[in-house]
Amino acid sequence: MKKILLSSILFLGMISLVNAQVLDSAWYCAYATWDDQPNSTGERTMGVASFSENHFVALGTRVSTLSATATCYLIQYKNADSANGRIGNYAYGSAIRGFRQEWASGFDVVEMLNATDIATAFDSLVFVANNDTVDRNILVFVVRPDSVYSTEFRMSTGDNRPIFGIDTDQAGRVYVTKEGDTTNPGKVLVYKSIKDDPNWSFLHTSTPLQTLTMPEAGFIRGVTVNKEGTLLYVSNYTTGKVYCYTGSPTTGYTRYTGFNFSINDSVPGQPTLKPGPLGMKFMPSKNLLFVASDFFFSTAAYSYGRVYVLNPNTGAKLSTIDMAAWNLMKTGSYGSRPDYKQGDVSGYASVFNVDVDNAFNLYSNSYFGWTIDKWTYKGTLPTIPIVILSVERTDGLPKSFELHQNYPNPFNPTTTIEFSIVENSNVDLVVYNSLGEKVTALISNAALEKGVYKMTFDATNLSSGTYLYTLKINGNSISKKMSLIK
């Protein structure tokens, strides 16, 4: 892994991450959709799901228990910028308040209500985490050149507990969170693709491929996966934590305890308001994890709202996109937007969901700003190698605490490292260069059971030379040398 030194993060300051890969440039708001005709979402905006650069669907949601004000619908944008891109005609503000788009297939009709997140699949489908009061359906819509239409696909998630986050993998499998509460743990449900399960269009109920019960009670919000579905991340708003799971949607998942990230922030000037992690998105190819952090549903929290960019292996913060600070810099206030049309600021930080596009841009919502914002990185984003999927437990019996010589050695560019542990332990496996500087943590404080393990180390981004790899367990360590020759 290439070691990149930090120069700055966003415009507001610096973050020191010793011996960690960090981003060395800044994010900026390329545009924010107008909060006015003809390009407005028209109402409070809960989420966004991207198909490609500047082509996305926004989720307009006014959460309410009153039918007169509860609002929920989808808006497509294509070739978008701040003033252009909205497809179709939508009323604005009080004129659209109370409108709830319908999912309909024949005589089967479900009203969109209190939807919280959306995800895309197969270049044209939009999956909605809907909170109709009986079935808590996943509703499926399709984008066409002129609008967003219903399909015949929906899936009931069963009990009356609300759903919140939703994501899909490249095979079209669907991942959705069941919230939980302060005394009960939430869950993640994994469903087969609509191509593989006829019940999406027939019975509209099916046994999930997997049901993951979270390790702690709390309001479970966001979920995101990599393309293969072998890495899964879940956010717990109550505890402030993000959980990492490795495995498979067909064989099951195990929590990877070497990933550690939690939010312990407070809203500036409002110390009793504690933000937490909400929507998340994994960026393919670059392997970056984006986590929205905000205080949910409060206009008193405009001075806070940010997205953390994380290392997907360890949870280390690589960068911070501070929406509230950006709003203050651009408008002189935490709660304003001149003429509702200033093109590079939403004005009201309330970021509950995020998504990414195929050009490595980030999209975020402003719930109270009624906008979708596009964020672009000024430099070149690094690619973070995924190492936590490389650890494989073998059938061997551990005889002692051992670190074996890598093979082949010398190598180019990959080599295998084997080790043994004789008791359940928290394990670190770290690679250093000849100057003693940390190059990468192949395993970081991971709780492993006793056994024999092996993993592949990919040194594609490293220069030829001699490196040291060190296994650390319970205060003990073993080191060996290896040679990379290109």
**Over the stretch 363-394, which tens digit does the pLDDT of each residue have?**
999 999 999 999 999 988 988 878 888 888 88
Cα separation, 393 vs 455, whole angstroms: 9
Dump strand ranges (E) for 180-269: 185-191, 210-217, 220-225, 231-236, 241-248, 252-255
pLDDT of residue 391: 83
> 94 by DSSP, 3-state: which?
helix
Span 298-337, pLDDT tens digits: 899 999 999 999 999 889 999 999 999 999 999 999 999 9
pLDDT of residue 9: 30
CATH of 27-377, one of 1.10.3660.10, 2.60.40.420, 3.40.50.1100, 2.120.10.30: 2.120.10.30
Indicate if the alpha-carbon torsion angle 386, 316, 10, 291 is positive or negative.
Answer: positive
Of the CA atoms within 13 Å of residue 51, those in its CB half-sphere come to: 18
Span 443-466, pLDDT tens digits: 888 878 889 999 989 898 899 999
Answer whether the bond into residue 408 is a cis peptide, omega within 30°.
yes
Report the chain's mean pLDDT, rounded to a whole number: 92
Looking up tokens 């560019």, which residue turns up? Answer: 413
Give the model's confidence band at 396: pLDDT under 50 very low, under 70 low, under 90 confident, else very high.
confident
Of the CA atoms within 13 Å of residue 1, those in its CB half-sphere come to: 28
Q: Is the pLDDT of residue 5 over 80?
A: no
Where are the chain's structural domains?
Answer: 27-377, 392-484
pLDDT of residue 258: 85
For 392-484, CATH gives: 2.60.40.2550
Window from 89-103, 189-203, 346-360, 453-467 with minimum mean pLDDT: 453-467
Q: What's the average model confidence in pLDDT over 220-240? A: 97
Cα separation, 249 vs 209, whole angstroms: 7
pTM for the full model?
A: 0.85
Question: Are the folds of 27-377 and 392-484 the same?
Answer: no
Residue 432: C-alpha distances to residues 69, 244, 278, 437, 441 (Å): 59, 26, 35, 5, 9
